[in-house]
Amino acid sequence: MAATAVATPRHQRRLERRKRTLLPFEQAPDHYRDNPHIRHWYRPPANFRKSLASLFRLHNETGNVWTHLIGFLIFLFLTAATAAIHQALASVLEVKGPVSRWPIYVFTAGAMVCLLTSATCHLFGCCAAHITAVMWRFDYAGIAVLIVASFFPPVYYGFLCAPWVRLFYLVTTSLLGLSTLGVTLGPAFQRAEWQAYRAALFVGLGLWGIIPMLHGLAANAGEAAMVQAMSLDVLMGAIYIAGAVMYATQFPECLKPGAFDVAFHSHQLFHVAVVVAACIHYKAVRILLAWRDASGGCLPPMPAAPPLA
């Protein structure tokens, strides 16, 4: 045993010492155990201070916390950059644009709410059961907020010149989001056996976006910006769905339980998919915004100058 200890790299010994302070699946509290394929690295029940300190320690929630905490910082930067670009454009453009930015801020705010709520819930998920039960409801609610907020920029800019159509889609989407929110806040929705249904509900809410997307493409037929934005949003949807499928099927840890306890398990991959897809959607929104800025929103085209005599 001594020879083995000497031959073991220093970082490996640190990992082993850290692992001994954590719990296997069988000893973890019931409200932790929603994935039997994650076999170890569960934090013991802790108070607020110890939970906060675990932000910089290795356990099976470390990746879940940091993937969305970094995502929150990315969207905080994008929000600030959008505001700075808007101010710069407003100072140089007179007759044309820039058009309103509030739909973008709705989206980036929704992304930040979702990502920060998720990171917080995963960080403090080792608190008492009655506390975590409430926190996880807000985690799922944050996903619904992000999905609904994602609709606002493409609907607003795609139907900028059709206010009643725009209003219909924004109101309908908001009502669907509120309905989803009501379901996610129910106590039964938090149970492990509902995991596949949770993923399906969020995927269904996101798929509603196909209708206004195709309508917007038809209403602006031939507009290159709409085609580019739609292509990016199709990619965004594919990434979201892939992440949701991995989350629902607990892939890849279901193939080799215990091998993905700390890194690359389904929940982490789902988190990465959410951040990547949201960034792709932001790029699509910027394309639509640049198009509307360049065309002056819904201003009528400037009359051609009369020919010189």
For helices 266-295 and 62-92, the axis angle rounded to 10 degrees is 10
Residue 159 tokens read as 């139907």
- Please identify which residue in the block is written with the tokens 């705010």: 109
Cα Dmax for the chain: 100
11 is in an annotated binding site: no
Residue 250, judged by CB atoms within 10 A of its CB (0-12, 13-18, 19+), counts as buried
Consult the annotation and say whether 267 binds a ligand.
yes
Alpha-helical regions (H) of the chain = 2-7, 10-20, 48-53, 62-92, 102-123, 129-158, 163-184, 195-207, 210-219, 224-249, 266-295
Q: Give the Cα-Cα-Cα angle 61, 65, 69 (nearest 5 degrees).
A: 170
- Single out the residue of 178, 197, 198, 74 nearest to residue 136, CA to CA: 198
Tally of CA atoms within 13 A in the half-sphere of 52 that contains its CB: 3
Q: Is 59 annotated as a binding residue?
A: no
Residue 283 makes CB contacts below 8 A (sequence gap 6+) with 232
Helix (H) or strand (E) holding 250: none
Eight-state DSSP code of residue 23: B
For 147, phi then psi, to 5°, come to -60, -45
> Count of alpha carbons within 13 Å of 208, Cβ hemisphere only?
21
Q: Three-state SS for 211?
A: helix
Binding residues: 122, 267, 271
Binding residues for Zn(2+): 122, 267, 271
